[in-house]
């Protein structure tokens, strides 16, 4: 594996990362900034890009798709 690039999680102390079941979005749970941030995943290159979607939640620790 090789890194496709770097993208900030737009928060402090990322604790958990999860790809949605379609592989279209990556979610980052930022423990110290109390946010879950959504990043878009380019299917061809694997590059991440900000979507502008952020959810405030106290000290997120994991992300589960049900």
Q: What is the pLDDT of residues 29-41, one digit of tens each?
A: 999 999 999 999 9
Q: Flag whether pLDDT at 4 surpasses 80.
A: no
Mean pLDDT score, 12-27:
94
pLDDT number for residue 16: 93
Q: What are 62's strand-pairing partners?
A: none
Confidence of residue 1 (pLDDT cuts 50, 70, 90): confident
Rounded distance between C-alpha atoms, residue 42 and residue 12, angstroms: 24
Indicate the pTM of the whole model.
Answer: 0.88
Give the ranges where 22-66 is alpha helix by DSSP (H): none
Contact between 59 and 31 under an 8 Å Cβ cutoff? The reply is yes
Non-local CB neighbours of 63 within 8 Å, separated by 6+ positions: 16, 17, 18, 27, 29, 36
Mean pLDDT score, 15-33:
95
- Residue 41 phi, psi (nearest 5): -115, 120
pLDDT number for residue 3: 79
């Amino acid at each position: 594996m090789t890194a496709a690039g770097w993208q900030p999680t737009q928060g402090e102390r990322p604790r958990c990362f999860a790809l949605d079941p379609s592989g279209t979005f990556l979610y980052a749970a930022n423990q110290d900034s109390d946010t879950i941030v959504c990043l878009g995943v380019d299917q061809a290159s694997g590059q991440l890009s900000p979507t502008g979607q952020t959810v405030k939640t106290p000290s997120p620790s994991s992300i589960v798709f049900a």
